[in-house]
Structure 1
Amino acid sequence: MEERYKISDPRVLKVVAHPLRVRLLGLLRGDGPATASELGRKVGESSGSTSYHLRELFKYGFIEEDADQRDGRERRWRARHRYTSWDAAELSASVEGREALRIMHLRQAEMVGRVMEEYDQADWPEEWADVSGMSDHLLTLPPAALREFNDRAEELLRDLAARHAGDPAARKVHVWLGALPRAAKEASPEEES
């Protein structure tokens, strides 16, 4: 599996930003190869619907057929990349790009909400419950500091994943990084000066 699929065309970002497609791609990345029927059962859709959306993901290079694990009559699909990325500055240069970014950000927020709704601390031992959750920070930073934060966080996550590969206590975990400037209408007078 390749590391990253970098999108520069807003039309391609819109393709993957479709609510069902983003879920299907996430399942293929997180759970491995699957058929349209298997994915349909997981997301509560018909295999016809999932087949259509899988073909769209294939058409734009997000997934590929897993020929090693053919399942009789039905194709097994696998993700081609671990991550999808894009240059927000480049995409935001056009109206279509800004719209694609807005849609993708909303899909990402929906996914965070879905995962948080499904999480029940009672299902996990104390050591997991103690480190799970989200935090919210409101800081005053320039864009360069946010870039540094994102770069260092990505580096730390890669390092931690490599160091703990094979650890029997390790589980797949969702880790989100997000930062947006606070809208001026929400800022207090002290922040605006």
Structure 2
Amino acid sequence: MDSDERQRVLDPARDAAALKALTHPFRIQLLGLLRQFGPATASELAARTGESSASASYHLRVLAKYAFIEEAEHRDGRERRWKSVHRVTSWDNAAMEGDAAGREFVGLARRRQVEYLTDSVSRYENDAALGLLGEEWRGVSGISDLLPRLTPESLGELLEFVDDKVEELERRDADDPRARQVALIIAGLPRADA
């Protein structure tokens, strides 16, 4: 998947209906699960989330209508499998802040990312306690918080560098059997008072 296929950039002026569709918390959750675990049926996603298959199916069709997901290859003729079209959904913060639906979506997306961080920490601690992670993983895992003083240009450059580096390392490790999915959550949030 090249960079253009990897990412969908939302524009509130062009994607108003898609943006409104994505402001539903369950749809964000479904899209996240398809990105994290790969293709799945409505029933499989319902089992993961505790929602009904009918509800999952409806929300998957809405995501498909706005091209966030598409039908995946079927294992057999009975089940409809879905997959994410892009690995990342991004947006221009300034454009989103000027639009009510954009602000709603960005707030919801940020809160979902914080929930994902909390879930990832809990899962890591559980996996480590059960001995499911070897020493090589425990030795390099961690969370860091930094408060550097940066210009807007430097923050943009830093975030772009991290994205590019992740793509490079992912390509390098693609065929390594030791590679695992890693929860990598990055935030660059300036403080007005500092």
TM-score (norm 2): 0.86
Structure 1 unaligned regions, length at least 5 = 185-190
1:111 is aligned to 2:106 = no
1:93 is aligned to 2:98 = yes
TM-score (norm 1): 0.86
AA aligned opposite 2:10:
I
1:85 offset after TM fit, Å? 1.2
Contact 2:46 2:56 survives alignment (8 Å) = yes
Q: Which residue of 2 aligns with 1:146?
A: 155
Q: Which residue of 2 aligns with 1:78?
A: 83
1:40 offset after TM fit, Å? 0.8
**Residue number among 58, 67, 73 corresponding to 1:61 in the alignment:** 67
What CA distance in whole angstroms lies between the structure 1 residues aligned with 2:94 and 2:183?
A: 26
In structure 2, relative to structure 1, the CA distance for the partners of 1:171 and 1:37 (3 Å cut) is: same
What CA distance in whole angstroms lies between the structure 2 residues aligned with 1:96 and 1:165?
A: 37
Contact 2:20 2:101 survives alignment (8 Å) = no
Matched residue SS, 1:69? coil
**Residue number among 9, 21, 30 corresponding to 1:24 in the alignment:** 30
Q: Which residue of 2 aligns with 1:4?
A: 7
Matches within 5 A, 1:32-43: 32-43=38-49
Q: Which residue of 2 aligns with 1:46?
A: 52
What CA distance in whole angstroms lies between the structure 2 residues aligned with 1:171 and 1:58?
A: 28
Percent identity over the alignment? 47
Structure 2 unaligned regions, length at least 5 = none
What CA distance in whole angstroms lies between the structure 1 residues aligned with 2:17 and 2:146?
A: 33
1:171 is aligned to 2:180 = yes
Q: Which residue of 1 aligns with 2:167?
A: 158
What CA distance in whole angstroms lies between the structure 2 residues aligned with 1:54 and 1:154?
A: 28
Q: Which moved more, 1:28-37 or 1:90-99?
A: 90-99
Contact 1:14 1:103 survives alignment (8 Å) = no
What CA distance in whole angstroms lies between the structure 1 residues aligned with 2:63 and 2:80?
A: 14
How big is each residue's C-alpha offset from its partner over 1:82-107, in whole Å with a ceiling of 9 and x where there is no partner?
A: 21111112111234322321222112
**Residue number among 117, 133, 137 corresponding to 1:128 in the alignment:** 137
Q: How many residues align?
A: 184
